[in-house]
Amino acid sequence: MGFSIHQMAIDAKKASLQVAKLSSKTKNRVLCTIAENLIAHTPKILEANHLDLEAAKHDDLPEAMIDRLLLTSERIYDISQAVKHIASLPDPVGLITKNNRLDNGLQVSKRRIPLGVIAMIYESRPNVTIDAAALCFKAGNAVVLRGGKEAIHSNKALAESIRQALVQFDIDEAAVSLVPDPDREIMNDLLTLSDDIDLLIPRGGENLIKHVTQHSRIPVIQHYKGVCHLYVDKMADQKKALDILQNGKVQRPGICNALETLLVDQEIADEFLPTVSSLLDSHNVKIHACERALPHFAHADLATDLDYDAEYLSLEIAVKVVDNYQSAVNHIQRFSSGHTDVIVSQDISTANQFIQDINSAVVMVNASSRFSDGGELRLGAEIGISTSKLHAYGPMGLESLTTEQFVVIGDGQIRH
């Protein structure tokens, strides 16, 4: 009688066949209706959000989490605008990516099709409910949303804006389903439903992602950590290096594309590190320096491997002097999380070598790691950043929510 996550997945699978065949025009009209509903329902959404905030305060949740939970009229407006933006993006479904005519007359093409059913498992940010639903729907998929228990009232109110739009366009409501009960057992059951769910995307802290990865029978796209490196080569333009360091560490340290480690070639360390010291001091950045870098800083402690492995997500940085280019590459190959790594160098051979040597999702030359983002790289919008190499690597846009099928057209050909 009670809620069945298995039935929800079966219904989503059925709905996915309908969503896969919707025209771009219909999908975009549904998305614009969702955007309008969000604005119209703002008072109700804020009321629901208020319940979540009260509960969070009652449970003494940390300030940062309460801020992530908080919705305001402005934030709802922004969410609604993001949905309109997704409506304006090109539809990946049906795109022919390859097309050949073989000797035997067969016409072989590859064609983008939706993945089917995508499950999102996320934590306290309620905006993910709308963002993820809009992106999955635009790419022709059904989606099962499982948000955190802290945001359950907000999520339900937001999902209602989607449900009403689906009903208005005669689309199976199961195309976007919110798991109504944030019980952990139900989530664990969800992880086993590989017959009906094609992809699982967890968004949240490392523990959530580890749990999902270890227990899932469904393919998972992982985003673990962003331990991003900046290597300042001996041939670097030091002014550019300093700008890129400041932008990467100071602008938004809490984001995964922020810098966590600075590597400096020993040939320029004596000249460059004093300027690094005054820059980081002026922004109150805590410094963990290697033995050779330590003397250049007034306030710093000695870095350990734990520092090189850390995703600080705050005004903290590890600084290391390296013997040469190869030492920098070795350090990055050992400690990088595969997210984004940057070289600053005016030497074109060194820059090209860096691109060959570093197999992270994003490798950058003379540019800020902060550009490592679906929006900045012009993917249109971002459903997540993959740090595992399968299916998608790096910032994931709409295309990553599709796959490619072979289409073979003949005129009676058989194989000999």
Binding site for a second copy (CB under 8 A): 17, 20-21, 100, 102, 106, 108, 111, 113-116, 198-199, 213-214, 217, 219, 237, 239-240, 243-244, 246-247, 251, 333, 351, 355-357, 359-368, 370-372, 376-378, 388-391, 393-395, 403-415
| Beta-carbon count within 10 A of 16 CB | 26
> Cα(137)–Cα(143) distance, rounded to whole angstroms?
7
CB of 32 or CB of 108, closer to a second copy:
108
The distance of closest approach from Cβ of residue 3 to a second copy in the complex, given in angstroms and rounded to an integer, is 25
CB of 66 or CB of 268, closer to a second copy:
268
CB of 349 or CB of 356, closer to a second copy:
356
CB of 267 or CB of 404, closer to a second copy:
404
Tell me if residue 268 falls in helix, strand or coil. helix
Here the tokens at position 10 are: 């079966």
Q: Judging by beta carbons within 10 Å of its beta carbon (0-12, 13-18, 19+), is residue 206 exposed, middle or buried?
A: exposed
CB of 184 or CB of 416, closer to a second copy:
416
The distance of closest approach from Cβ of residue 329 to a second copy in the complex, given in angstroms and rounded to an integer, is 9
DSSP 8-state secondary structure symbol assigned to residue 142:
E
Q: Cβ neighbours of residue 135 under 8 Å, at least 6 residues apart? A: 86, 381, 383, 398, 401
* Rg of the chain taking only CA atoms, in angstroms: 24
The distance of closest approach from Cβ of residue 229 to a second copy in the complex, given in angstroms and rounded to an integer, is 14
Beta bridge pairs of residue 141: none
The distance of closest approach from Cβ of residue 120 to a second copy in the complex, given in angstroms and rounded to an integer, is 15
The distance of closest approach from Cβ of residue 247 to a second copy in the complex, given in angstroms and rounded to an integer, is 4
The distance of closest approach from Cβ of residue 41 to a second copy in the complex, given in angstroms and rounded to an integer, is 33
Nearest to 79 by CA among 40, 46, 39: 39
Q: Cβ neighbours of residue 233 under 8 Å, at least 6 residues apart? A: 265, 325, 328, 343, 344, 345, 347, 350
CB of 20 or CB of 83, closer to a second copy:
20
